[in-house]
Chains A and B, each alone.
Chain A
Amino acid sequence: MNRLLLPSLFLLLLFFTGCQRLILGEDEANDPENNFEIFWKDFDRHYGLFTVRGWDWDSIYAEFRPQVTAQTTDEELFEVYRQMVEYLDDSHTFVYWPGRDFFSGNSEDDERTEAEFSLPLILDQHLEVIDSSSEEGYVYGQLRGRNVGYLYLAGIEMEDLSFGDKLLTDLGQNDALIIDLRNNSGGDDGVGAALAGRFADRTELIYTVQERNGPEHDDFAGKTEYYLRPQGTVQYDKPVIVLTDNITVSAAEVMLIYLNALPQVTQIGTATSGDFSDTGMRRFLPNGMQYQYSIMKFLLPDGTSLDGVGHVPDIEIRNSAADIDAGNDLVLERAFRFLLEEYGIE
């Protein structure tokens, strides 16, 4: 019995005493310099787009490390983080000070771009709505006086993958469809692939994904391949116009990789955001701030990347806020003109 006592007492001691340091080792120091080091090093070891975008992260260390000292305040440190994130120009990368501040990369033009689009204007002037869901972020219907269907997606969030069946049942009789991805904030790549498959007449390799898997900037796991595949019993093979702007991002851009592989698809508007990678997990700092970053690279079958470039439209045109205020959506009107000139569709 006595032999039991010592181990038992030791275990009880572990439980009752503050033995965190003994078991886990030292916690990270919560001082400005260490918070900077953790932040920079974590990006250095895990961020997925250094080589794709050609970023020199060491130069960022050289520029900002001297600015951080033991006396740096939280506000000053957040500003340093903000500039580091801004350098990466990636809307999937952000720094977050809970309750205080937030900054996402590649977001400087968002406010202006938001003002260059108005769904209420389209609803008011052009659309007879057939179905909509504010929760899933879609509205579709018949464009007044035209044999053209219209789908607006605020995100790629439709929970029911048979959404495409319903869409084509309601709009499939039209001579053309307009899919409006302006101000689209992304969502689920799988949902976009399922919807794009309703327009596909072939199976084709569309892109590959590789996650960062090592400390070097060019350490990546093997390629996971994604294919365009026909979905559903009926596919829509008539002209499709996709409208985009600089906010069109992430899963919306991934859906557009599928759609742009199809000959009947024409993209009109401005270039998309150019941010394809999934984000990694939320990261934590000793000072309570958090951040997140891209962890993978998307490559087209020819090995090129659209990260940082986005989908460049076939026809480039943009609204101004004044156009929208005046009740004119020049991008949508350009789509009407293209359908008439190219296909004789009114």
Chain B
Amino acid sequence: MKLKYFFLALGLLSITTVSAQGMADATPQYQNQLTLTIGLNNGYFRDRNYSPLNYKSSGTRFGLSYGRITASGHRWTGGLALGLGTLKHPTDYDRHPRPERYQIDLSVGYLRKVGQVTDDRRSWLGVKYRSTVDLALYDGAEAVTFYGLHALEAALATDWKTGDRHRLSTEVSLPVFGLLSRPPYTGWDKFIVDNAENIPKVVTRGDWVSFGAFAALRASAAWTYDFGQRWSTSARYDFSYFASKRIDPVRLLDNTFSLSSTLKF
């Protein structure tokens, strides 16, 4: 069923971008871009605070991002992505509700142009602030776990022109310092009970930590086709990994394949 919706969205995105070809004008340089993304997520989930079991995760992701290239060629970025998914374990059967997984990813960043810039190749290096909240719920709130990482990350982005209309871009970011929020030792405490209606307060209770107390990495690769000056579409792969041993070991790995449509203005 999910695949059906995914391909439906894919079709809509394609129609949007193809029909936008006619809108292309001759303006050579646009500084702003707005990107809408929809994707399928597949991941692995091991959180010993939540369960002794290893789970597979699958779901959908939606994203909206903004990018701006300054006159000097530096980049501002900002984005919001939401993920909806479920967890699955081989012992699951019909009598078990499937755990639900909710992911929120909010980021802003500034990357400066670095290295030798050519028409075919550009690189940026900079810093991003990213707030990630990953929440899993079983049967309402019979079991809950989460991690929130609100961190500064070092980011490197590159862009290669691979043809007249297409290019390949990659980005790697590494969180280095931030606020890590995890459930307490027992998974649940009076602070959570007393603030059950205030989720932001719950997922920002934590400790300021630096890389080492956690390990995390994000990487992405996107192939983009320009339909004209104003519109492009991309096929994108995102990888993220998070691990920590604080209180209880947790390892979360996510892969997302997505399609996006970008408006430049």
> Do the two shown chains form a genuine complex with each other?
yes
* Residues in chain A within 8 A of chain B (CB atoms): 1, 4, 7-8, 11-12, 14-15, 19-20, 23-25, 27-28, 30, 38, 42, 46, 48, 98-99, 189-190, 209, 211-214, 221, 224, 278, 280-288, 295-296
Q: Is B64 an interface residue (CB 8 A)?
A: no
B190 close to A211 (CB less than 8 A): yes
Give CA–CA (A38, B190) in the complex, Å.
25
The residue among B46, B185, B237 with the most chain A CB atoms within 10 A of its own CB is B185
A281 close to B93 (CB less than 8 A): no
Task: Name the distance in Å between B107's Cβ and chain A's nearest Cβ.
Answer: 20
The 8 Å CB contact of A295, one of B50, B52, B188, B255, is B188
A282 close to B189 (CB less than 8 A): no
Give CA–CA (A296, B51) in the complex, Å.
19
Give CA–CA (A28, B51) in the complex, Å.
10
B54 close to A4 (CB less than 8 A): no
A282 close to B142 (CB less than 8 A): yes
Instruction: List, in ascending order, chain B residues with CB within 8 A of A8's CB.
Output: 221, 237
Given A15-B42, A23-B251, A288-B93: A281 and B168 interface contact (C-beta under 8 Å) = no
Instruction: List, in ascending order, chain B residues with CB within 8 A of A284's CB.
Output: 51-53, 89, 143
Q: Which B residues, 2 to 55, have Cβ-Cβ distances below 8 Å to chain A? A: 42, 44-46, 50-54
Instruction: List, in ascending order, chain A residues with CB within 8 A of B52's CB.
Output: 28, 38, 42, 284-286
The residue among A27, A283, A287 with the most chain B CB atoms within 10 A of its own CB is A27
* Residues in chain B within 8 A of chain A (CB atoms): 42, 44-46, 50-54, 56, 89-91, 93, 95-96, 138-139, 142-145, 160, 162, 168, 170, 184-191, 193-194, 219, 221, 237, 239, 251, 253, 255, 257
A280 close to B190 (CB less than 8 A): no
Given A4-B170, A8-B221, A20-B56: A278 and B193 interface contact (C-beta under 8 Å) = yes
Q: Which 10 A-B pairs have the closest CB atoms?
A: A295-B186, A99-B95, A98-B95, A282-B143, A281-B187, A15-B255, A24-B46, A281-B143, A282-B142, A27-B54
Task: Name the distance in Å between A291's Cβ and chain B's nearest Cβ.
Answer: 11
Instruction: List, in ascending order, chain A residues with CB within 8 A of B237's CB.
Output: 8, 11-12, 15
A283 close to B185 (CB less than 8 A): no
A211 close to B44 (CB less than 8 A): no
The residue among B53, B144, B184, B189 with the most chain A CB atoms within 10 A of its own CB is B189
Give CA–CA (A275, B253) in the complex, Å.
40
Instruction: List, in ascending order, chain B residues with CB within 8 A of A28's CB.
Output: 52-54
Give CA–CA (A283, B144) in the complex, Å.
10
Give CA–CA (A25, B251) in the complex, Å.
10
B91 close to A286 (CB less than 8 A): yes
Give CA–CA (A173, B144) in the complex, Å.
45
B53 close to A213 (CB less than 8 A): no
The 8 Å CB contact of B186, one of A14, A19, A212, A287, is A212
A20 close to B50 (CB less than 8 A): no
A221 close to B184 (CB less than 8 A): yes
B186 close to A11 (CB less than 8 A): no
Instruction: List, in ascending order, chain A residues with CB within 8 A of B255's CB.
Output: 11, 14-15
Instruction: List, in ascending order, chain A residues with CB within 8 A of B191's CB.
Output: 224
Give CA–CA (A209, B193) in the complex, Å.
12
B221 close to A30 (CB less than 8 A): no
Give CA–CA (A7, B168) in the complex, Å.
14
A-B contact pairs, 20 of them (CB 8 A): A1-B160, A11-B221, A11-B255, A15-B42, A20-B54, A20-B56, A23-B44, A24-B46, A25-B46, A212-B185, A214-B185, A278-B188, A278-B190, A281-B50, A282-B143, A284-B51, A284-B53, A284-B89, A286-B52, A288-B91
B239 close to A282 (CB less than 8 A): no
Chain B, residue nearest A47 (CB): B186
B189 close to A211 (CB less than 8 A): yes
Chain A, residue nearest B172 (CB): A7
Given A98-B96, A99-B95, A284-B53: A24 and B193 interface contact (C-beta under 8 Å) = no
